[in-house]
Amino acid sequence: MEGRSHRAYLIWKKMEYCIDVREDLRVPNPRNHYTVPKPNRETYLSILTLHATVNGRDRGRGAPERALEIVQRMEERYDAGHWDARPSVMIWNQVIASWASSTHSEKGYEAAKVLRTYMGDIADVSSYGNVFKACATTEGNVRAKELAGKIALRIWEELKGSDLLMMKDGDENANALVFDRGSYMFVFAMKAVQLVEDEKLRDQAVKSQFYTACKLGLANTHVLQTFQSVASPELMTAILGKYGTKKVKGGEKRTGHIFQNIPKRWKRNCKTNSFGW
């Protein structure tokens, strides 16, 4: 239904206004007064989730900008002593997801700006995944897509050098289990760098992303299928050729069969059926 996030935003604004009026006037709350509607963490998260899944006429710049306003207001409430209003990484991720769902031509840039400007060390793999999704789903003119591709490359280098994808000594599965939907992050990461015009740079990034997914045991069929669609034929053959990319009747061998043939360590943390779905 169109406009739900905006209507929720307007209701939230009225709730915040009521709190401000009561606090400014220092009005007590005896039994004969109405209780002031006060948003809690569930309220904020519900409104932000609507902004992160916008559709219809809400999908422009307005929804993500409103989402940012809401979280900044949460920070103000927290600084004023409302301890339960402190924005968590999940809350901030809704702002980035709102940009990813928008139709704005520079949503990749805007999503990355939220990540770098406001989140800092609290960012998790989902944060980066939403930025990659914003880049990967960029539509419109050539310049916008080129910008999204460049941003995706920079964000990938930043993520690759962080602790989020590092293995712990003695436990190769440890960090892979931190993100339940990590495979989808790699799918959007590869689709995002697909927008890079330079084939050499594109292949280098895709190769790095695919091998990282394999290292973490997250190479499910979605990751394999995306890799096949974005990598150059030479790169695809070099990495997956021995696992069944040869031609068969009706086209290339199905990705599900390739999944069955790749090393078990590449897929050890995938929650899938026997064909990787």
In a domain, 131, yes or no: yes
Residue 126 lies in a domain: yes
Asked whether residue 46 carries a pLDDT value surpassing 90, the answer given is yes
Angle, helix 4-25 to helix 62-79, in steps of 10 degrees = 30
| Residue 218 covered by a domain | no
Residue 252's pLDDT is what? 47
Alpha-carbon distance 205 to 231, whole Å? 10
Q: Is residue 69 situated within a structural domain? A: yes
Q: Is residue 130 part of a domain?
A: yes
Q: Is the pLDDT of residue 88 over 60?
A: yes
| pLDDT higher than 90, residue 192 | yes
Range scoring the smallest mean pLDDT among 3-7, 168-172, 205-209? 168-172
Measured distance CA(149)–CA(195) in Å, rounded? 5
Q: Give residue-wise pLDDT tens across range 146-164.
A: 999 999 999 999 999 888 8
Q: What's the number of domains the chain is made of?
A: 1
Closest CA to 258 of 230, 221, 226: 221
Confidence of residue 177 (pLDDT cuts 50, 70, 90): very low
Q: How many residues does the chain have?
A: 277
Classify residue 220: in a domain, yes or no.
no
Domain membership flag for residue 184: yes
In this model, does residue 250 exceed pLDDT 80?
no
Domain of 35 in residue numbering reads as 4-192
Across the chain, mean pLDDT equals: 85
- What is the maximal distance between C-alpha atoms in the chain? 79
Dihedral of CA atoms 139, 140, 142, 146 in degrees, nearest 10, equals -40
Is residue 138 a contact partner of residue 145, using CB atoms and an 8 Å limit?
yes
Average pLDDT over residues 54-64: 71
pTM: 0.86
The reply to whether 274 falls in a domain is no
HEC letters along the chain: CCCHHHHHHHHHHHHHHHHHHHHHHCCCCCCCCCCCCCCCHHHHHHHHHHHHCCCHHHCCCHHHHHHHHHHHHHHHHHHCCCHHHCCCHHHHHHHHHHHHHCCCCCHHHHHHHHHHHHHHHHCCHHHHHHHHHHHHCCCCCHHHHHHHHHHHHHHHHHHHCCCCCCCECCECCCHHHHCCCHHHHHHHHHHHHCCCCCHHHHHHHHHHHHHHHHHCCCCCHHHHHHHHHHCCHHHHHHHHHHHCCCEECCEECCHHHHHHHCCHHHCCCCCCCCCCC
